[in-house]
Amino acid sequence: MFRGKSIKLISKEKDEYFFEDGMVDLKTKEIQAKGLEVNFNNTIFGNEQNDPRLKGNKIFSNQNKTIISNGVFTTCKKRNNKCPPWVLEAKEVEHDKLKKTIYYKNAWLKIYNKPVLYFPKFFHPDPTVERQSGFLIPQIGNSENLGSSAYIPYFYVISNSKDLTFKPRIFNSNKISLQTEYRQVTKRTNNILDLSITKGHESSLNDTSDTKSHFFSNSKMKLDFKNFSYSDLEIQLQKTSNDTYLKLFDLESPLITDVSTLNSFFKFSAINENSDFNASFQVYEKLGSINNDKYEFIFPNYNLTKTIKTNNNLKGNLSFNSSGANYIYETNVVESQIVNDLSYQSENKFLNSGIVNKYNILFKNVNSNGKNSSKYRDKTQLEMLSSLIFESSYPLMREGINFDNYFTPKLSLRYSPNKMRNLKNEKRKIDINNIFAVNRIGFHDTVEPGQSLTIGTEYKKTSKKNDYAPIKFNLATVFRDSAVENIPLTSSLGNKSSDVFGSVSLSTKKKFSADYNFVLNNNLDALKYNDFSGSFNVNNFVTTFRYIEEDDNIGDENYIQNDTSFKLNENSSILFSTRRNKKIDLTEYYNLIYQYKNDCLTAAIKYKKDFYVDNDIKPTEEIFFSLTIVPLGAYETKSVK
């Protein structure tokens, strides 16, 4: 045993302990001291920018526990003796080393030295614990659709591989919502189950029940089949009792990714060196549709892709793909199909002149059958289709002092002797990004018929220092010897002379960038499609926007969207986003956020106005407050308006 002043101890975790005056018993490993200051390892909470530390008047510590009087704890970065953004002060702090839990008595959470929350008793796991049962941060809020509510979640550790979160929400109008999320992870499986039940909500006239519920589950299993390097099975079930329930109550779960369409399925996947196989059984439920027509079944459904090795004389990629599916939708419409593809893509052939050539050959076998279908006949059909695509380009470069200029004219010749089923009323958008694609019409059970010539050009200016390109320009169009009626009208590929597709990109190195995709009619006198997006960055001001306008045969979508942020100082910023539907002359939403952020604290006030209407869901105007304290957790009100 020894006693000393200005004692410094370093733990095996590289935590540093300082004592003004203390006694240490090396045999019992007890410490009694005053004037405590602890600097924990910076990585203890996963952020090396933090400086986690603890101060106290007195300390007693042994192998089982540590007790500190008048303790002050924070993880915030040291700021030259300035007040840290947050501290947790307590009359007594006890660390139970056996339970791995830290207990606080008469504790205050202070934000910039202002007390904001008082805890008569408070505890949390110590930094060595990844999971521990206990209440999570509660929330209170107010919604125009549901009224005021209180949310008190509880996390429960069942075992090393199992846990659950119980999420009750109580409303001031005799409503209650009980939600549970259960998780289980093993060496070969990952399972999540999420379910809820809600009582007391007065719904719309077409739904008189006051009880609503949902059940979602997802399970992933590794199968480790011997003939495959990777194989797994995924099973998902999704069901809700009310079409607007998920959207109205804004339930939070990793399984809730779409509140308008439910998807239940069985999926099997297997991969080896040369093959990729997938099979599934799927059910889609479109919420809000008529009951008899809201379901779509796809079973069986499979896809097999196999790479075929070739000899040295046949240089290129030879592959076989087979896919099949059986669709049942709109109650009594049945469509079945099996498609087999054998395709070959040659390597690039470089000529002495600098021209680069390549070609694609495709043989397609389509087997189809239908019942009450507008696509297929009520008897089995067998089709043998083929196509040949020859592509040629002439890449040119002009070298400069600071920039290099690249100019590449190119063409594509396509030929298929086959006809195609009537797809002229299907929606298919062609732009400069897909006009040279092998399957540019976007349907896997047919090929583009007839013969066509696609010509285009690419230009870009590139910096010699960092491959930065301030200017890019692309242009392309398609010509045919005769019109083809069955190709989708929105694409214009069936015309003898298609629309002209192009794009322009302009940017400075840091402050400005703009991308413009357009479609010009074949008379070159009217724009049928405009897609303009850009960003502008000056000092602390950043704004991004997108404008889309469709006309004529392409469509009628028309909207403008904007996201803007302004950084007031090093820690504070304002963010604004909105979208206006020009087609119906309606603003869809406004979002306005004020955010304060540093290394250990983030606070935000969010204003949201949504003009969306759907049965139980009315237009909303809400204000949220959120606070994140590293590493204690995050808190967000549902709505304070």
Q: Six-digit token pair at 90?
A: 């307590």
pLDDT(593) > 90: yes
Amino acid at 254: P
The one-character DSSP state at 614 is B
482-537 pLDDT per residue, tens: 999 999 999 999 999 999 999 999 998 888 999 999 999 999 999 999 999 999 99
Q: Six-digit token pair at 103?
A: 């207990």
Average pLDDT over residues 392-405: 94
Q: What secondary structure does DSSP assign to 286-320, as a single string?
A: ETTS-GGGSEEEEEEEEEEEEEEP--TTS-EEEEE
Q: Which residues contact 106 (CB under 8 A, 6 or more apart)?
A: 90, 91, 92, 119, 120
The neighbour count for residue 52, using CB atoms within 10 Å, is 23
Q: How far apart are the first and last CA of the chain?
A: 62
Overall pTM > 0.95: no
The neighbour count for residue 282, using CB atoms within 10 Å, is 18
pLDDT(623) > 80: yes
Rounded Cα–Cα distance for residues 295 and 517 (Å) = 37
Q: Six-digit token pair at 523?
A: 């008379």
Is residue 250 classed exposed, middle or buried when 0-12, 13-18 and 19+ CB atoms within 10 A define those classes? Answer: middle
* Closest of 241, 238, 200 to residue 218, by C-alpha: 238
SS3 221: strand
Task: Give the chain's mean pLDDT.
Answer: 89
Confidence of residue 431 (pLDDT cuts 50, 70, 90): very high
Q: With beta carbons less than 8 A apart as the criterion, state whether 414 and 454 touch.
A: yes
pLDDT(459) > 90: yes
| Alpha-carbon distances, residue 36 vs 262, 363, 513 (angstroms) | 57, 79, 55
Q: What percent of the chain has pLDDT over 90?
A: 60
Average pLDDT over residues 328-350: 94
Confidence of residue 172 (pLDDT cuts 50, 70, 90): confident
The neighbour count for residue 584, using CB atoms within 10 Å, is 9
pLDDT(160) > 70: yes
CATH number belonging to domain 2-129: 2.60.450
Strands 349-350 and 333-346: unpaired
Q: With beta carbons less than 8 A apart as the criterion, state whether 40 and 15 touch.
A: yes
Residue 322: enclosing H or E segment and its boundaries? Answer: strand 316-329
Beta bridge mates, 574? 566, 594
524-583 pLDDT per residue, tens: 999 999 999 999 999 899 999 999 999 998 999 999 999 999 999 988 999 999 999 988
Tell me the HSE value of 57 on the side-chain side, using a 13 A CA sphere: 6
Whether residue 115 is preceded by a cis peptide bond, meaning omega within 30 degrees of 0, is no
Average pLDDT over residues 421-448: 92
Lowest-pLDDT choice from 163-167, 222-226, 231-235, 453-457: 222-226
* Closest of 312, 307, 303 to residue 344, by C-alpha: 307
Q: How many helices (H) and strands (E) does the chain have?
A: 1, 39
Locate the domains of the chain by residue range. 2-129, 394-532
Confidence of residue 350 (pLDDT cuts 50, 70, 90): very high
Is residue 482 classed exposed, middle or buried when 0-12, 13-18 and 19+ CB atoms within 10 A define those classes? Answer: exposed
Tell me the HSE value of 350 on the side-chain side, using a 13 A CA sphere: 2
Beta bridge mates, 422? none
What pLDDT does 641 receive?
57
Tell me the HSE value of 293 on the side-chain side, using a 13 A CA sphere: 5
What pLDDT does 209 receive?
64
Most confident of 78-92, 114-128, 238-252, 472-486: 472-486
Beta bridge mates, 71? 90
**CA 545 to centroid of chain Cα atoms:** 20
Strands 176-185 and 295-308: unpaired
Rounded Cα–Cα distance for residues 176 and 155 (Å) = 19
The neighbour count for residue 543, using CB atoms within 10 Å, is 15
| Alpha-carbon distances, residue 319 vs 153, 275, 308, 390 (angstroms) | 53, 10, 5, 18
What pLDDT does 44 receive?
75
Rounded Cα–Cα distance for residues 382 and 364 (Å) = 11
Rounded Cα–Cα distance for residues 286 and 296 (Å) = 8
Please give the order of strands across the beta sheet that includes 2-10. 2-10, 16-25, 30-39, 53-61, 65-74, 86-96, 101-111, 114-125
What pLDDT does 203 receive?
60
pLDDT(67) > 90: yes
